[in-house]
Amino acid sequence: MGGNGSYSKEIGGVNPKNRTHYDTEYRIDGHKVVVLQDNPSHDKIIMNSNSENPIYLFASADKDTGQLTISGIGIYKKHLLSESIDLIFDNQGNVIPFNNSEKGSHAHKWEEVAPGKIGRKSHDKNNYYSISKKHQNLINKIEDFNKKGKIWKKGKD
């Protein structure tokens, strides 16, 4: 799980020194819940994956309590990010549906801009998509996970 260009065919994965996220050891439908670690490039989302076609769930941990909140999903093809989903929540923790803006939950397409490097234009109004219905069950489980207040502390991994 690493930043742009970090997947290496030679070692069959992402070099540990290039990894950008911690595995919290939580799983939803077998998908890893991961948290951003301190990294020089400040990658908020994993660009390259050790696994060929995984789905990762991106969480943040409250600095004081360690409570996790999942707010994103990364979908990968051949080790590279191909689609991301940004989940937006209301005050009760319910997912706000797609409304063709960044104020509602939405998906983005990513593409390879150079060998092993993924990109998309930030805040591109043409790159907001409704979320595929095939992800609704997972999103419902993420909503439930967030409401349960799961705890993770750095170093648990």
Separation of alpha carbons 49 and 26, rounded Å = 18
Residue recorded with tokens 């909140």: 69
More confident: 157 or 53: 53
**Residue 127 pLDDT grade (very low, low, confident, very high; cuts 50, 70, 90):** confident
Q: pLDDT tens digits for 75-91?
A: 999 888 999 999 999 99
Mean pLDDT of 99-104: 83
Instruction: Tell me if 49 sits within 8 A of 6, measured CB to CB.
Output: no
What integer pLDDT is reported at residue 94 of this predicted model? 97
In the predicted model, is pLDDT for residue 69 greater than 90? Answer: yes
Q: pLDDT tens digits for 21-63?
A: 788 999 999 999 998 766 544 457 888 787 889 999 999 888 8
Instruction: Tell me if 116 sits within 8 A of 4, measured CB to CB.
Output: yes
More confident: 132 or 123: 132
Residue 81: alpha-carbon gap to chain centroid: 9
